[in-house]
Amino acid sequence: MTLALSMASAIWPNPSRAAPDPATTTKPNAQTLVAGLKRAAPARTRFSEVRFSGLLDRPLIVHGELEYNGPGKLSRIVDTPYQEHMTIENGEASVQRGDHPVRKFPLSQAPELEGFLRGFAALLGGDAEALQRDFAIAASGGDSAWHLKLTPRDERLARRVTALEVDGAGTSARCFRTIETDGDVNVLLVESLADAKLPTRPTPPMIDALCRGVPAR
């Protein structure tokens, strides 16, 4: 899902990592949060991605760059631990890993990827109306640490994806999480968390704490 690190602060400004102070936070409004996340395309950032799957002996961690080029257009380059380039445009995904031939497939064959693109594009477009057409939205937390939960309205998507969740602070997102119905969870860490030092076997609670800005103990 390509990204120049020099542009990262223009996409997701550095969020505060301090734990929220309940006495100084204000209950977030979903529409206000979404409006604040609007970014002008192209928007680029480094990322780290952690995938928890029942099919894996340990979580899969990859690193790379992500570029949002407007509604329906996304580019993702993985540089570690393997090389892969994915582009999404006009309802189609194109993937090349290493020197292997390019594979193309319609997003309709990958509902979880299509759902992430819909939510991601609406969030970075600051389009709460579009987001509400595809998802039921619930906001919690406060200004210094908020959480958005997006539940799919589309039955086809809901059969594969339980929810998309976003954690952030102010007008900055820290993590995008895709929770699949089979229990698999994919977490995209961006901006200040993109190069966070992760153990070889991170746990879901550890990643959740990192995304919510809870200081390590």
- The answer as to whether 189 is a domain residue is yes
Helix-strand-coil split of the chain, %, nearest 5 = 25, 40, 35
How many domains does the chain contain in total? 1
Domain coverage including residue 193 = 27-211
pTM for this prediction: 0.81
- 3 in a structural domain: no
Tokens of 24: 């100084």
In a domain, 167, yes or no: yes
For residue 1, tell me if it sits in a domain: no
- Residue 16 maps to a domain: no
Question: In b/e form, how buried is each residue of 37-53, taking b as 16+ CB within 10 angstroms?
Answer: bebeebbbbbbbbbbbe
Distance of CA 185 to the CA centre of its chain: 11
How many other C-beta atoms can be found within 10 angstroms of the C-beta atom of residue 147? Answer: 20
118 falls within a domain: yes
CATH code of residue 88: 2.50.20.10
- pLDDT at position 172 is 87
Q: E-strand spans in 161-200?
A: 161-169, 172-180, 185-190
Report the pLDDT value the prediction gives residue 23, as an integer from 0 to 100: 37
Q: Are 41 and 70 in contact (CB under 8 A)?
A: yes
pLDDT tens, N- to C-terminus, the chain (217 residues):
333 322 233 333 333 334 444 434 456 788 888 988 888 888 888 999 999 999 999 999 999 998 988 888 889 999 999 999 999 988 899 999 999 999 999 988 888 888 888 888 888 888 898 899 999 999 999 878 999 999 999 898 899 999 999 999 888 899 999 999 999 999 999 987 988 889 999 999 999 999 998 865 5
Domain-located, residue 62: yes
